[in-house]
Amino acid sequence: MTNGNQPPAACLIGWPAAHSRSPLIHHYWLRTLGIAGGYVIEAVPPDEFKDFIFRLSLRGFVGANVTLPHKEQALALSKPDARARAVGAANTLWFADGELCSTNTDVEGFINNLDASTPGWDIAEDALVLGAGGASRAVVFGLRERGIKRIHLANRTLARAGALADQFGASVVPVAWDALGDILPRASLMVNTTSLGMKGLPPLDIDVGRLPPHAVVADLVYVPLDTPLLAAARARGLKTADGLGMLLHQAVRGFELWFGQRPEVTAELRALVEADL
């Protein structure tokens, strides 16, 4: 409790205020765990962000999620852990010994979703990651933390893949988009971090039939939930991990840091959020 007798509350800070499933997720856990607490959305323009988070505790918040366009500022204004530093962006803030700390929960969200959806995926020696933006950094860092031997990084703009590979070292190799075909037969894990396949955008033009039969295919896109990529992979008998699973698993750590209990990603929660997509 940070403010009088108010129950602890966290918020999602973004600009402009966009529709988010986070309140639904955190309210579900508060309710099912019987914790008196809150989670609200705060629309904060970029030039007010610094002031807002310096007064976060005074405003009665025990922590926050941070979304566009504030994730880089959040990193600079807090004490980031290794994950937030590696990704170059923070999406979760909390207080430890009075200090504002930050992390990037996409890393564990991605990995824990794979563990839950496709156990055994980590025998992968060669992983193929498509895309080289912010989401890709979290995925690549998670795969490296997990010790995956070779990460092939393909991106429309090859220079961006090259820059990311330079940051992460020899285990990450940039691949030109039109050379993808050479990697597919070796990739026992393929991850889409691009926006392709999202509602309103064209699908990824990749023949999943060229992946090995034991391959796992993960997509970070979750609208639609069943992306053309995941549908094609399943039709081929491949195992899949979807973007909604990652969204739910990335929310776990924030809740634990703010409210002191580690919540479960249940089938009931999944169904609840799925109905809101």
Instruction: Specify binding-site residues for NADP(+).
Output: 131-135, 155-160, 220, 243
Q: How far is the CB of 33 from ligand ATR (least distance, A)?
A: 30
For residue 33, what are its two tokens? Answer: 């765990």
Distance CA 220, CA 245 (A): 9
Q: How far is the CB of 75 from ligand ATR (least distance, A)?
A: 14
The CB density around residue 277, as the number of other CB atoms within 10 Å, is 13
Binding region: 20-22, 67, 91, 106, 131-135, 155-160, 220, 222, 243, 250
Helical H segments across 131-275, by residue range: 134-145, 158-168, 180-183, 228-235, 243-259, 267-274
Considering only 10-18, 36-44, 150-158, 248-256, which stretch makes contact with ligand ATR by CB under 6 A?
Answer: 150-158
> Which position among 23, 60, 133, 162 is part of the footprint of ligand ATR (CB under 6 A)?
133
Binding region for shikimate: 20-22, 67, 91, 106, 222, 250
Task: Between 160 and 236, name the residue whose CB sits nearer to ligand ATR.
Answer: 160
Residues noted as catalytic: 71
Which amino acid type is present at position 249?
H
Q: Would you call 200 helix, strand, or coil by DSSP? A: coil
Task: Between 7 and 88, name the residue whose CB sits nearer to ligand ATR.
Answer: 88
Interface residues with ligand ATR (CB under 6 A)? 131-136, 155-157, 160, 193-196
